[in-house]
Structure 1
């Protein structure tokens, strides 16, 4: 009986945590809506292209607009809303105004189940191209987050995020398990040209591995590409006249692959 009561208490506690996370996520979504409205309000409005419109006509226009179809522009008072004591953002970040030149497009989404480094790279590029800065990056993350990432963000302690660098470190630390590990020189040297395999397929596989090994020097990568080739005229040629750059290695493979494809085609036609 005691074990059953413990199980029920654990289930109730888990349910309570789930409800709390859902409520906080909903509050975050409401904040997102306000933030997006604030950003939208900074954009030029077609309703205010001229100041010559009589007040009566303006009122008529608003009255004729169906409910829910008004422009997202909001009154200036919305920019002065009070600080949210439950927000993970510090008071300094919350009170920092959005740059007037910030024109956000669609931001990349992050659900917490993909490589956080890839998300951060694309997120920073998207915000920078829209005219944002580090403060905007920190304030815009809530717009890009969804699913597990949004739930995690909503559970952060209030006022514990004081810069984008600080939030970026938290994202990397919490979702580190989804990061793609970089390959090493050993991975490159273990790649071998298979018997009967077209050299183009071997080199494409090598390039795919090379892209995942950014810390391996070019000269080591070139050596691995040559060592992986099956013994033959092309491998001997590269060993005698080793390319000094990846670009030259690519040129050598392209020339040889064209000749090899030519030979294979003639054999098939024979």
Structure 2
């Protein structure tokens, strides 16, 4: 039987984490790997109530890792425990369907998928589907074959754009990418990590230095597309055949990725600084 690790870093969001764990149905095929920066009594509660379906790591023993390194630690634990697949999850995400695990096996694992990107309402509250930047999907939440990568994310990143970078990296290696007809709802808890804006600034610099073809798209919010939810698995290799749409124009929630991108870019004046340096 193939085994699935569900990766969840959490930083001082105990109530959100409990809600996510209680509303994410799993069975013996899956287990949560939680990298938690919480109080002692909260960690004890997790140990006493979720031990059978989770592996708990106290992040504090490693220092304050940040999102990227916390995910990498969870993924490393998954590899050491011989999980076959890993799901990039979060402490404020729940599946849309009760049988989501069955759908994962049917649509991805049984088809020997390599990278599968879930359908989400990320950036567009209430509108499920996939976000595309230029020619590559954003892997907001995904499942990956553990044989594909030995390290999940480039440790040069702190916590942003890693979900796009991994898709770009694997696409350039011609790794199969599937868009999965499995919906995840992002509950959008508040961000509590310090220096979030500066982390975003730094991470965008790393990304566009490595992949300059995406510079304009990130810094000027151009070439952003949206593919509405499908009931069938979509092989992203057929990108040119997809009927992409502009990002939905309805109001997005205050804490959405799109609003955070716009606010951060405006505050740090990244567009002007990059334009002057790079002649965009």
Q: TM (normalized to structure 2)?
A: 0.22
TM-score (norm 1): 0.23
Considering fraction of residues, name the structure with more helix.
1
More strand as a share of residues: 2
User: Which structure has the greater CA radius of gyration?
Assistant: 1
